[in-house]
Amino acid sequence: MTWLNYLADPDAVFVADTSVLISLNATGKTADVFGGLPCQFVVPENVSAELKNGRRNGYRDADVLEELCRDGNVRCVGLGAAALEVYESLVDGSTLRTLDDGEAATIGCAVELAGVALIDERKARLLCSEDYPELTVVSTAGLLLCDPVKSILGERGQAEALLKALQQARMRVPKELVDAVCRIIGPDAAMGCTSLPRSYVATLKV
By the 8 A CB rule, do 114 and 83 touch? no
Which pTM value belongs to this model? Answer: 0.94
Averages of pLDDT over runs of 10 residues in the chain (206 residues) are: 90 97 97 97 97 93 96 96 94 78 96 97 92 95 97 97 97 95 93 89 72
pLDDT digits (tens, 9 = 90+) for 14-59: 999 999 999 999 999 999 999 999 999 999 999 999 999 999 999 9
DSSP string covering 96-113, please?
GG---HHHHHHHHHHHHT
**Angle 18-27/101-112 helices, nearest 10 degrees?**
100
Closest Cα partner for 181 from 163, 156, 195, 169?
163
